[in-house]
Amino acid sequence: MTLRGLSIPLFAVFVVVVAVAFGPAVPGVALSSPQSYEPASGSVAVSVSTMPEGLTLERNGFGSGTYELQSSTVETNVSSVSGNPLVVYDVQIPGLEYNKETYRILSPDVTGNLTIRATSDTIQPNQVTEESYAATVTVLVRSDAGSRVVATRNVTVEVDG
**What is the spatial order of strands in the sheet that 43-50 belongs to?**
43-50, 73-82, 112-117
Q: CA 104 to CA 87: how far, in whole Å?
A: 5
Instruction: Please check whether residues 80 and 124 belong to one and the same domain.
Output: yes
Instruction: Please check whether residues 69 and 137 belong to one and the same domain.
Output: yes
pLDDT tens profile 88-112? 999 999 999 999 999 999 999 999 9
- Split at pLDDT 50, 70, 90, the class of 28 is very low
Instruction: Please check whether residues 133 and 151 belong to one and the same domain.
Output: yes
Instruction: Please check whether residues 105 and 84 belong to one and the same domain.
Output: yes
Instruction: Please check whether residues 26 and 91 belong to one and the same domain.
Output: no
Q: CA 35 to CA 27: how far, in whole Å?
A: 15
Q: Supply the CATH number for residue 124's domain.
A: 2.60.40.10
Say whether pTM exceeds 0.85. Answer: no
Q: CA 99 to CA 54: how far, in whole Å?
A: 16
pLDDT tens profile 107-158? 999 999 999 998 878 899 999 999 999 999 999 999 999 999 999 999 999 9
